[in-house]
Chain A
Amino acid sequence: MFERLLFEAPDFFTYHNVVFLLEAAARTLGMTLIGCTVGFIAGLLIAVLRQSANPWTLPLRVIAIAYVETFRRIPFLVIIFIVLYAIQPLLEDASLLTIATIAICLVSTAFLSEIVRAGLESVPKQQIEGARTLNFGAARTLWYVVLPQAWRVILPPAIAFAVMFIKDTSLASHIGVVELTFSGKMFVNRGFSPLLGFGAVLVLYFLLSYPLSRLGTYLEKRLDPSRRS
């Protein structure tokens, strides 16, 4: 097994192959970034919506809660399949990457909205009351008072989620998105040793994931609220 790896390595690590791998890694990273960005913004909207006490928003709130609770309890693979077969009649020439990205955003929104919600709820109620008595509207209270204090509670779990999510994107390979896992499959299909092909892929995933994971641990220690004097 290892002899084969050593034997094939020079043919594997050609300029073209390496560039191809890096492009695939970029695609993995891109999907993760889009997923986390869209998921954070949409998640923030949902979290804010859920805090509203306005009776008119009740139907929206019920939908939001149902959405979050549902999409956190279905395997990502199943969601990808559902999105794949649901989108095709609607958007005939949607690319596989688009479909995968939609599925990714649906899942990340659900998870990140919970993380954001916990962060918003961690801000003491008195801070919000103080803002109200100064005639701050809901938007101003959120922007000037709640978010600046909530982000410390939001950031570490959000980064942990991103680290998990990089690995989840590997499932997009099944529907043919040319991301990192798919590129590994391609090389193996071309005849390279699986250990070499998938090994290289594993190393690249590691290089994407580990620094982020270390960043998360570092931030968790620094942002620990009990450390504030």
Chain B
Amino acid sequence: MNYTFQFGEVMAELPYLLGGALVTLQIVFFTFFLGAALGLMGALGKVYGPTPLRKVISAYVIFITNTPALVQIFVLYYALPDAGILLSSMAAVLIGLTLNSTAYLTEIIRAGVVSVRQAEMDAAIGLNMTRLQILRYVMLPHIAKTIFAPLSNFFIWLMLGSSIAALFGVEELTGRAINVSSVNLRTIETFSVVAVIYIGLTLIASMSLALLGRFAFRVKARVF
């Protein structure tokens, strides 16, 4: 096999690729926080809501978590125009990933909500705390501690999963890798460099999340 690796051509495009990493992070942060907010509502709805609401949320979660995100975004991108809604690639990806994440996050947060022990709730009610105070001082700290690890894992998973945006032409990290390699034809080198960038991103994210967990939420986890 007569193939010499030439990383020089890829490294010249490094700023461009790192710009893609930035777009990836934007997608991830947007999707994660919006999904978490919606997921919180979904979780509360599923635990405290009336039965019809619970069934709808259940059905939503079950359907979304058992089908691929890629096809979900295909539906948004290709099927909505029939109904008159034209979405750009980025919009379709953001909406699709957010809707997808909401389902998973609803489940994660719900597990946290139901883990609050009735005894603590009773004690708080007995101390004449208002519903809002109970939420703030009893439930949220406990829930936060319980869900921190699964949320961290989901965040990392989302970082990697955001790469499907490339299949719609979005110029995040993987998308830019495709662009670069289609020009310099050094596909293996380009994608290897991009792989290393992803590893770097996820390692930094894991460590940061572990540190955050230790100091803000007192959740013990391996930092490295």
Contact = CB atoms under 8 A, between A and B. Distances in A.
Interface in B169-211: 174, 177-178, 187-188, 191-192, 194-195, 198-199, 202-203
Given A73-B198, A75-B198, A202 B72 contact: yes
Nearest to A204: B67
B166 A209 contact: no
Interface string A73-114: 111111101100110011000000000000000000000000
Q: Name the residue in B68, B75, B203 with the highest tally of chain A Cβ atoms < 10 Å from its Cβ.
A: B68
Given A1-B83, A181-B71, A74 B66 contact: no
A74 B160 contact: yes
Nearest to A169: B68
B163 interface: yes
A81 B177 CA distance: 10
Interface residues of B, number: 39
A79 B66 CA distance: 23
Interface of B: 1, 3, 62-63, 65-72, 74-75, 78-80, 82-83, 160-164, 166-167, 174, 177-178, 187-188, 191-192, 194-195, 198-199, 202-203
B198 A74 contact: yes
Contact of A1 (B69, B79, B192, B198): B79
A195 B82 contact: yes
Q: Majority SS of interface residues in chain B?
A: helix
Contacts of A205: 66-68, 71
A22 interface: no
Instruction: List the 6 shortest-distance A-B pairs measured between CB atoms, nearest first.
Output: A194-B78, A75-B163, A170-B68, A194-B79, A167-B68, A85-B187
B167 A174 contact: yes
8 contacts: A73-B198, A75-B163, A77-B163, A81-B177, A173-B70, A198-B74, A201-B71, A206-B67
Interface string A193-229: 1110011011001100110010000000000000000
Contacts of B82: 1, 4, 193-195
Contacts of A85: 187-188, 191
B187 A81 contact: yes
Contacts of B178: 81
B160 A198 contact: no
Interface in A173-201: 173-174, 181, 184-185, 188, 193-195, 198-199, 201
Contacts of B74: 181, 184-185, 194, 198
Contact of A89 (B3, B167, B195, B203): B3
Given A73-B203, A198-B71, A82 B191 contact: yes
Interface string A53-78: 00000000000000000100111111
Nearest to B185: A85
A34 interface: no
Nearest to A84: B187
Contacts of A49: none
Nearest to A166: B68
A206 B163 contact: no
